[in-house]
Structure 1
Amino acid sequence: MTKLSRKLNNALEITAGCTEPAAIAFCASFVGKYLDDIPQEILLRIDQRTYKNAFGAGIPRAGDKRGSEWALLFGFVMACPEKRLSIFSGLEKDAITRAQALHDRDILKVELVETETLLIAVSARGATNHVEARIEGGHTKVTAVTLNNRTIDIAEEKEKEAAAASLPYEDAIYEALNWPELIEECYKDQTLQTTVRQGIAYNMAAALHGQKYVKSGHGADSLVMGAIYSRMNGDPIPIMSCAGSGNKGLTCMVPVVCYSRDLDLGEELEIKGVLVAVLLTSLITSRFGEVSSVCGAQYAAGAGVIGGILYLKNKLELFDGAYNNFISAIGGGFCDGAKGSCSMRGNVAVSTALTAINHAENGFLVSGRDGFLGTTFHETLDHLTQYNPLIAKFERETIDILRNK
């Protein structure tokens, strides 16, 4: 497996429900597994972005029980960290009843932490024991599990973490004309090929499922919109996430697959087109973080749509211009949490991506001298990242609004 194919494979993971609640439940499940005691107090320390994203997100099979607190309680009582981000696929009535009993005892406290990286730390104290689990820097990056301040050996999780270690993107990967050769190499990796094939099946099934919510059309933008809405609504459907987000996975994959199938291009080209979309989504996410202040479905996955479709059209020389067309239209979209209205963000990302491609094909390209744009994709992306500290200030206001609802 090449470094790039390993990186793309690590970017893809099956999740049930919104990623942030699943990550909180995953962390809490370690605490529930190792606390051989009745909890007397539970504390969740969490970064503001993750709390924001989990706040309004539905949890599969949980009805109106949403957000960080319920996600933690469900993970704690289920105590099955081996399920990772698919933990809610096993949420049953008994677990909901036990979580409700803990909730009624009012022993859970939440502390928001100001940090630049993702942080989920769950600790629980019983009469004799104290357990803490920490996830830092990524939704499944378990950095510590302790019982009475002694480290618990979680060799399997450490092995997964080592396999998923961050591998920096080389400058050549920002050049669209290099992608066909890179994708040919990645396509040879059977593990990655199988993962992408599975992701296409899951995400297209979710798109069909979501049609019951969107009656306005059956184009790729409406399919993505319905799939995201059903996921945020807590419908029990598996999703192949990309770069730490199910919404990114849906947004970057579904339109590329739709384009391929409309033209009957065949499975091989379909998978390669999706690989380009995954590459772009992961590359851009690496510049903003898995949980960011900007909308990843737009900033990252929307660009993935452009790359994947232009690859299938054999017109990658248009990518830099089409990307500038796209980002000049949607740039500035800050993230106010994961919730049903993310469906509109996905819809806009896809429709704007398709429009940007169409304009580029017909000779309309906005100037790299305009605003924050650069003359190349890499340069424009560098300029965008300069706004990160400023857009992050929106987070505090968003959290105040959410907590006062």
Structure 2
Amino acid sequence: MNGQSTGNKKTQGILVNEEANLWVSELLREEVKPAAGCTEPVAVALAAAKASEVLNNSFSELVIGVSPNIYKNGFAVMLPGVMEAGLNLAAALGSARGSAKRGLDVLNHLTEAEIRTARERLADGKIRIELIDTSEKVLIQAEQWSQDRVHHARVTLRGRHDRIVEVFRDGSCIEKIEDMNTATEKSIAGINNFYSMKLRDLIALIDEIDPEPLAFLLDGVTMNQTMAAVGMASPVGLGTAFAMKQRYSKNGQLKDLARLAMTMTAGASDARMAGVDLPVMSSNGSGNNGITAIMPLVAYFELKGTDRGDQIKALALSHLINSYIKAEIGRLSALCSCGIAAATGASAAIAWLDTRDPEIVESTMTNMMANLSGMVCDGAKLGCALKLATAASTAVETAALAEDGIRVPAGNGLVGRTIEETISNLGRLSRQGMQLADAVVLDIQEAFARG
């Protein structure tokens, strides 16, 4: 519609009008948000902050129950502001902050007094992390007692990293969220329909949608590029991007799209996993997903030049495909969703920018999933920068191969007769075939912690 939202337009079975603009905007605003720090420990901090808020920061004890996936992803990642790891530390910092209104930015710019209070509570042995025996991926239950032990708060966070569904004070429910978003009934229906949409129809929708209501997606470019610059400028975290930049800039290889994409993506992950006190734009509950969905496109915009409207549309497509695939494999998974979902979104968006051909976009996605389906998630950590670099460079090269006519044929491993069938097969692998993987990773982490 080229910036105009006048009337209705029928494209390949999709009605593109104000209603479509509304639900796409609602979905992306729900799933694309700033986050300071890795979202698993941040979610723990958010639940703790809410419990403390209910008790006006009166504190004697805090117990946090977490699902195995939250534990796995929060085990080894550094926290912003303190550059140390630990879910118990995340809980202490959230409790000391005592304000949940910041959402996934709850640990952004902690004060010295808050950090000192958190360390005191930890040192006193008043904070405990427990594993919940559950198959739910995102589940956190926080219980805090007041200083005089008279009052008690219980907070449940479920389904999304920032979705607090129940709050109790002294046994009485004071907050309860029935539905995950506050969109109108029409936009809720549109969001629900999205997850059963054909990929061809999604691409047609992106072709025709008004980009301006989605302009907030450009904020993610700025945020993630800022974080990437930190990782490229110094050997922070694992130092992956700094080493790459030193090597590639000497002979002009940073003018190559794949090398620039992998260096910038690794840079943002290096800095974020090290606990640099800056936010990134997350995607579908994950900051590293946001980095992977966005940074290869930022490299593309930098080297090839792309007008504002197409930048917004490409970002929207990348985020939407990330959400679409993660609806099958799980918001948290034994598979690395950065490689399987977010990088597939970025690769599809690059193919879309180059060709506008839905067949090539589908070929790109097929090749990505056929290639990276074996990438396992073993938790958030410094080493994620290597996986994200691999995913980013593969995203660029896979789009180019698809444009050259390369597509893994149906019947090869997970590849189905349609792109939707391939995604469904990937979901089966994640939900059924990888059931033991998370437990094994968890055992490995616990064994390491025991020494």
Per-residue deviation, residues 145-180 of structure 1 (Å, max 9, x unmatched): 1111111247xx889743497932447733236414
Verify: 1:394 aligned to 2:437, yes or no. Answer: yes
* Aligned 8 A contact 1:36 1:129 in 2: no
Counterpart in the other structure of 1:376? 418
Aligned counterparts of 2:100 and 2:195: Cα–Cα separation in 1: 37
Tell me, which stretches of 5 or more residues in structure 2 are unaligned?
1-20, 234-238, 249-253, 255-259
* Aligned 8 A contact 2:30 2:181 in 1: no
Verify: 1:142 aligned to 2:164, yes or no. Answer: yes
Residue type of the alignment partner of 1:10: E
* Aligned 8 A contact 2:348 2:364 in 1: no
Counterpart in the other structure of 1:28? 48
Counterpart in the other structure of 2:236? none
Counterpart in the other structure of 1:201? 222
* Aligned 8 A contact 1:307 1:316 in 2: no
Counterpart in the other structure of 2:392? 350
Verify: 1:45 aligned to 2:65, yes or no. Answer: yes
- CA deviation after TM superposition for structure 1 residue 247, in Å: 0.6
For 1:354-365, list aligned pairs within 5 A.
354-365=396-407
Verify: 1:317 aligned to 2:337, yes or no. Answer: no
Aligned counterparts of 1:165 and 1:81: Cα–Cα separation in 2: 25
Residue type of the alignment partner of 2:363: G
Percent identity of equivalent pairs: 25
* Aligned 8 A contact 1:260 1:269 in 2: no
Deviates more, 1:294-303 or 1:311-320: 311-320
From the superposition, tell whether residues 169 and 56 of structure 1 become closer, same or farther in structure 2 (CA, over 3 Å): farther
Counterpart in the other structure of 1:72? 91
> What is the count of residue pairs matched by the alignment?
399
Counterpart in the other structure of 1:152? 174
Aligned counterparts of 1:337 and 1:82: Cα–Cα separation in 2: 27
Counterpart in the other structure of 1:174? 198
Aligned counterparts of 1:177 and 1:41: Cα–Cα separation in 2: 52
Aligned counterparts of 1:178 and 1:119: Cα–Cα separation in 2: 31
From the superposition, tell whether residues 208 and 128 of structure 1 become closer, same or farther in structure 2 (CA, over 3 Å): same
Provide the secondary structure at the position in 2 that maps to 1:242. coil
Aligned counterparts of 1:21 and 1:365: Cα–Cα separation in 2: 39
| TM-score normalised by the chain length of structure 1 | 0.93
Aligned counterparts of 1:132 and 1:172: Cα–Cα separation in 2: 36
Residue type of the alignment partner of 2:130: E
- CA deviation after TM superposition for structure 1 residue 295, in Å: 0.8
Of 68, 81, 97, the residue aligned with 1:61 is: 81
Aligned counterparts of 2:298 and 2:204: Cα–Cα separation in 1: 17
Counterpart in the other structure of 1:102? 121
* Aligned 8 A contact 2:41 2:90 in 1: yes
Residue type of the alignment partner of 1:199: G
From the superposition, tell whether residues 200 and 107 of structure 1 become closer, same or farther in structure 2 (CA, over 3 Å): same
Counterpart in the other structure of 1:4? 24
From the superposition, tell whether residues 13 and 355 of structure 1 become closer, same or farther in structure 2 (CA, over 3 Å): same
Deviates more, 1:319-328 or 1:178-187: 178-187
Per-residue deviation, residues 273-298 of structure 1 (Å, max 9, x unmatched): 11111111111122222222211101
- CA deviation after TM superposition for structure 1 residue 77, in Å: 0.9
Tell me, which stretches of 5 or more residues in structure 1 are unaligned?
none
Per-residue deviation, residues 292-315 of structure 1 (Å, max 9, x unmatched): 221110111111111111111123
- CA deviation after TM superposition for structure 1 residue 250, in Å: 0.9
Verify: 1:239 aligned to 2:290, yes or no. Answer: no
* Aligned 8 A contact 2:225 2:295 in 1: yes
Provide the secondary structure at the position in 2 that maps to 1:144. strand
- Give the CA RMSD over aligned residues: 2.1
Aligned counterparts of 1:183 and 1:104: Cα–Cα separation in 2: 56
For 1:228-377, list aligned pairs within 5 A.
228-314=269-355, 315-377=357-419
- CA deviation after TM superposition for structure 1 residue 118, in Å: 1.0
- CA deviation after TM superposition for structure 1 residue 344, in Å: 1.1
From the superposition, tell whether residues 103 and 256 of structure 1 become closer, same or farther in structure 2 (CA, over 3 Å): same
* Aligned 8 A contact 1:43 1:110 in 2: yes
Aligned counterparts of 2:181 and 2:44: Cα–Cα separation in 1: 17
* Aligned 8 A contact 1:25 1:87 in 2: yes
Provide the secondary structure at the position in 2 that maps to 1:247. helix
Aligned counterparts of 1:159 and 1:320: Cα–Cα separation in 2: 33
Deviates more, 1:211-220 or 1:304-313: 211-220
* Aligned 8 A contact 1:334 1:391 in 2: no
Residue type of the alignment partner of 1:117: K
Residue type of the alignment partner of 1:285: K
| TM-score normalised by the chain length of structure 2 | 0.84
Provide the secondary structure at the position in 1 that maps to 2:334. coil
Residue type of the alignment partner of 2:26: R
Provide the secondary structure at the position in 2 that maps to 1:404. helix
* Aligned 8 A contact 1:4 1:186 in 2: no
* Aligned 8 A contact 2:46 2:100 in 1: yes
